[in-house]
Amino acid sequence: MTEHLNVVDHPLVQHKLSLMREKDTPTAVFRQLLREISQLLAYEVTRGLPMTTKRIDTPICEMDAPVLDGKKLALISILRAGNGLLDGVLELIPSARVGFVGLYRDEETLEPVEYYFKVPEELEDRLVIAVDPMLATGNSSAAAVQRLKEAGAKNIRFLCLLASPEGIENMKKEHPDVPIVTASVDERLNEHGYIVPGLGDAGDRMFGTK
């Protein structure tokens, strides 16, 4: 993947995203839509993976069939909203290894602080796909990606549902080597750090919290 930003403007993605944005969409429907969109986005984020061939027998004859090459992918959920994207992607790539990064923002320093980090081994040999639905300021996403690099990851892609222009810029500045796949780049961030027009708090909407 060579482009730094890939906005997936497929009609199904855009239609489902509009339904998710509506404030009266119930939690169960929101979750189902997120699952469906994440599979469509997974299709894009895995584009161009290295392939090899494997000798197989079909009922008719032998053939060299294309299969994915190399170590299994690592999917990394940036907690907690990342888990909503993770589920759908995992359904499409069930053999992927899974890791979690938990960060919170220190109220005084405003810096991201790590509270959980568990990732698959041999990260350096895997394609690592970090998932977080909302790329808002980009501070925690950039910090999570930095942490993955420190753990050895060399080939990282970032998958989100919505991004702000500020978040994209921030990630591009900090991690120009990490391509971003998203369903939309919205207008801006508001003074509370929410994406506008956005869809509100993704974690609250998918888990039914407030």
Which active-site residues does the annotation give?
A: 105, 109, 201, 204
Q: How far is the CB of 204 from ligand URA (least distance, A)?
A: 7
136, 159, 171, 180: which one binds ligand URA (CB under 6 A): 136
Instruction: Supply the minimum distance, in Å, between the C-beta of residue 201 and ligand URA.
Output: 4
Segment contacting ligand URA by CB under 6 A, of 38-46, 47-55, 62-70, 189-197: 189-197
Contact 182, 195 (CB under 8 A): no
Could you tell me which stretch among 31-39, 106-114, 171-179, 194-202 binds ligand URA (CB under 6 A)?
194-202
Strand-strand pairing, 180-182 and 5-7: parallel
Q: Specify the stretch interacting with ligand URA by CB under 6 A; choose among 15-23, 50-58, 169-177, 188-196.
A: 188-196
- Compute φ and ψ for 178, nearest 5 degrees: -110, 105
Helix/strand number for the chain, H first, E second = 6, 14
Residue number with CB closer to ligand URA (67 or 196): 196
Phi, psi (degrees; rounded to nearest 5) at 194 = -90, 145
First CA to last CA distance, the chain: 37
134 marked as part of a ligand binding site: yes
Look at residue 103 and give its three-state secondary structure: strand
Applying CB under 6 A, which of residues 79, 134, 143, 180 lies at the interface with ligand URA?
134
Burial 105-134 (b: 16+ CB within 10 A, else e): eeeeeeebeeeebebbeebeebbbbbbbbb
99 contributes a contact to ligand URA by CB under 6 A: no
Report CA-CA distances (Å) from 10 to 169, 176, 203, 205. 23, 25, 24, 23
Candidates 20, 148, 183, 202: give the one binding ligand URA (CB under 6 A).
Answer: 202
In the complex, the residues that contact ligand URA under the rule CB under 6 A are: 81, 134, 136, 193-195, 198, 201-203
Give the residue ranges of the annotated binding site for 5-phospho-alpha-D-ribose 1-diphosphate. Answer: 80, 105, 132-140, 201
Give the residue ranges of the annotated binding site for uracil. Answer: 195, 200-202
